[in-house]
Amino acid sequence: AAMAAGLQAEGIPATWVHTHLIIEPWNEFDAVTDTATCTFPSTAPSADRSADLTGGVNYALLHSGFTSDTIPTLITSSVTGSYPSQPWPVYMRAYYAAGGVGLPSFHIYSCDPNVIIDMVRQVSAVLPAELQHEIVLGETGCPLLSAACKTGGTMDQRTAFFRGVSFNADVISSTRLVLFWRTLDLTTTALGCEGTFGIVDDADHGYDSAGISLFRALGGTGASHWCPFSV
């Protein structure tokens, strides 16, 4: 109620949050590193645990005054396929079997569009019927092949990748959102492939500086800076 009143005071409809705000409880939950042992991935972030966590977030939102018309759109903690013996489809099926809520969200990278398309098909096939066309492909992309990134794609391969994913009928039918990582390059070779995912050259020095600083603070790849990592 307080949230709705605050929005209305600013001239924003109470339903704006429901239609425009997406909440992801935990980024790449199945790929959490155990910082006590530096084990990657940790054995803790199971599908059952993810379902419990997201359910708790949903409960907290509903009990803080949101209604079905005003609550933010909830997606699952994104799945990367990193959890032992539980690739994307297996993890997603286990998540909903455990009572998980929210739109299905997963991250997958490849310079071959068919890898992305095939995974969208596999995930869609195991989802509850009402969610089979609601997938949030929260991160995907192909870095540029360079001296700093040996596993990237050429410009022609990247063009084919973006077109292949964007215009594929199954992807269009099965997804609510496809988010490519990321818009601008980061102008440093120290990050390896992570710096070259951009689809346009960097022309915003503020973005570049902030992005580089963020990745350095996180340990270079988003991993805990307490554990060793490679780029």
Q: What is the pLDDT of residues 97-113, one digit of tens each?
A: 999 999 999 999 999 99
- pLDDT score at 231: 36
Residues comprising the chain, all counted:
231
Q: Distance between CA atoms of 8 and 86, rounded to whole angstroms? A: 44
* More confidently predicted of 8 and 231: 8
Average pLDDT over residues 82-103: 92
Q: Which residues are CB-neighbours of 51 under 8 A, at least 6 positions away?
A: 95, 96, 98, 99, 100, 101
pLDDT higher than threshold 70 for residue 150:
yes
pLDDT higher than threshold 60 for residue 2:
yes
* More confidently predicted of 205 and 46: 46
Q: Distance between CA atoms of 222 and 18, rounded to whole angstroms? A: 29
Least confident range of 152-161, 197-206, 216-225: 216-225
* More confidently predicted of 102 and 197: 102
